[in-house]
Chains A and B, each alone.
Chain A
Amino acid sequence: MSSILFKNVRLIDPASGQDSKGSLLVEKGRIAAIDPKETPKAARIVDGKGAVLCPGLVDMRASFGEPGAEYRESIDSGIQAAVAGGITSLALLPDTDPAIDNPALVHYIRRRGEETGLVSIHPYGALTKGCAGKDMAEIGLLKKAGAVGFTDGARAIADTKQMRNLLAYSGFLDTVIVLHPEDPSLASGGCATASPQAVKMGLPQIPACAEAMMVARDLRLAELTGARIHFGHISTGEALSLIADAKKRGIRVTCDTAPPYFAMTEADIGDFRTYAKLSPPLRLEADRQAVLAGLADGTIDAIASDHSPADADDKRLPFAQARAGGTGLVTLLGVTLQAGLPLLDALRLLTVAPARLLGLEAGTLSIGAAADLCLFDPEEEWTVTAGSLPGRAQNTPFDGRTLKGRVLRTFHHGREVYTAEGLPS
């Protein structure tokens, strides 16, 4: 594999805290040198013209429709969206059809990722068989097959005793249990956060405390069992307070959020916009502010895309019947950059932080690391337009929004896997 020299770039490596202008040399798919004194003669030169070069993004929670719902998003189509978003490592949720609950399926997902070769795909294993919340999946065997963590995806484990057993059993495997924090009984039938607007719209509602109630239960069970847990897409201030307290008390807990929860509120579902129907549902402004505060103070450990594809027929329905979920791969970087965080911190939440949570060798610019890189212009604006985004699924909640920060080029293991329109390849 040939050498590449990135020159005139702003190198940002959250793992080391580096933020400086310079150059970076890639050889044989790995990072060979920073600010090299000599350039190999055959090296391709990429002139960044001052753009940021950072580790490729690590998205710790995304769903594709493969296997079972490829019409929404296949692995092939989904990774087109991922690389356009600067993402080079993806952890895929297991609540597919069939669910990723046996070792052969873990191997299948990994092999599909390798076939495409554009990004590193890491499957989660199902926590329970069929992600049905009842019988324990073979999590030991799934881990041996390469599952990076265990979850039932967008479903919570309703049965408290079974949850205790799952956490207790996982304790000896040195793995992380990723949870969807929402009391399923309280949330059943609901599609919008309880609010004056939802009352006026006549939508079945979910009180925001459905999240904190589940977080409280699972934190207590993590304390009881010593298991390591991670809450996905945290969206309320009440849950964040519980998590911050638990961290202080030494409970092994981490959490992430997704861009809609710090960039949108329930007001965005006005006029029954089904693209803004998400799970958990969009919250009130006070919770959005609490999520921003949680990102700034470190209570939230990572930002994930929460990519959840739907096709037109899933969304062109009355609000309560429409499928919940939005795409998020292409917009992950741009929306995060608008959260008001220092650039180094924002990129940490998108790279090395989620990589460490899942134990992945990714998300750094250290010498010898795989050359997974994202070159982006933090100033360039672009408008999100559903219908013309890369990938199959177009159900972005950010349709029509102008984002600042555009991915120019993405490299995976030293190979250019995405080039923005209009740039020489």
Chain B
Amino acid sequence: MSSAHHTPHLLGIEGMTEKDITPFLDLAESYALLSRSRNAPRDVLQGRTVINLFFEDSTRTRTSFELAAKRLGADVVNMTVATSSVNKGETLLDTASTLNAMHCDLLVVRHAQSGAPALLSQKVEASVVNAGDGMHEHPTQALLDGLTIRRHFGRLSGLKIAICGDIAHSRVARSDIHLLRAMGNDIHLAGPPTLLPGALGTLDGVTLHHDIDEALKDADVAMCLRVQRERMGSGLVPSAREYFSLFGLDRRRLALAKPGALVMHPGPMNRGVEIASDVADSPQSVISEQVEMGVAVRMAVLDRLSRMKNPA
């Protein structure tokens, strides 16, 4: 979270403390309840414009932000910019000046390049929410993961959390690691060396494993990350079946975790690659709840940034 030049942005979790994070979770929790009872306050963002600027296709995240903004009464516009057809750099800065001219209040950005939302935030007048940039951060995903965990355990600290999968290429993993560390949890990362950067082992509270069983032992949470099909056979992992055999979360492995441990996945899932179907659909799975909390967290983020920008 940064607020240089008095415009608050949410560009990443890195650097945020428990004091910065908790108000987002508290507000999101109340929005989760209001959403369930169909009572979201439509006047919170009335008259504000939210633009979802997606340089990368993502139906799920875009829909989640769109719903969040609409439930708070904002005017929402979706812009999807195909990166392949244009000179990416020109588009980014030209887009910034276009958006300034449109007087957009909140700008939700998804981009394939690490740091792209940060670059945009220097050029636009709107508050920027990073909806995922390259391999860098995906802060609202970390907040929704944190909220989901907190609702089940009544706390978001002192838990053993295993994160398995393609850590190296995952912005979700980075944001989750920052958030879970800031809240005081014991984080265990598991994956093959090609997908697990050794440098992360230098962080306090983070332990690396190439044996997923060790990571899962007595874990409170088993989180799987998507391993993209294109990593298979590309020199990073020999095949999907080898990956599933060595690193996939199946029932036997889940039994190593604490009874009732939560199964999480940021989606979209590759069933039979990083997670077995029966585990994904088991009663321990909170994957659907993550999606629900996603909308609530995004409502809280849009609300808080808007209020920080326009104090009452």
Contacts and interface: CB of A to CB of B under 8 A. Distances in A.
A286 to B, nearest CB: 15
A196 B202 contact: yes
Interface in B196-215: 197, 199-200, 202-203
Contacts of B88: 317-318, 321
A277 to B, nearest CB: 11
A320 interface: yes
Contacts of A194: 199
Interface in A320-338: 320-321
Given A316-B119, A318-B134, A199 B197 contact: yes
B114 A202 contact: yes
B196 to A, nearest CB: 10
Chain A CB count within 10 A is highest, among B89, B92, B171, B202, for B89
B199 A272 contact: no
A344 interface: no
Interface in B109-142: 111, 113-116, 118-119, 133-137
A180 B25 CA distance: 51
Given A198-B199, A317-B88, 16 more contacts: A194-B199, A199-B199, A200-B14, A202-B114, A203-B135, A204-B135, A271-B118, A272-B114, A272-B115, A318-B89, A318-B92, A318-B113, A318-B134, A319-B113, A319-B114, A319-B115
A199 B200 contact: yes
Chain B CB count within 10 A is highest, among A198, A317, A318, for A318
A199 B171 CA distance: 10
B199 A316 contact: no
A203 B112 CA distance: 11
Interface in B167-217: 171, 174, 197, 199-200, 202-203
8 contacts: A200-B14, A272-B118, A272-B119, A317-B119, A318-B113, A318-B114, A318-B116, A321-B113
Contacts of A204: 135
A316 B113 contact: no
A402 B93 CA distance: 30
A200 B197 CA distance: 10
Contacts of B115: 201, 203, 272, 318-320
A202 B136 contact: yes
Interface in A16-34: none
A313 B91 CA distance: 11
A195 interface: yes
B136 A201 contact: yes
B261 to A, nearest CB: 27
Contacts of B135: 202-204
Contacts of A195: 199
B89 A316 contact: yes
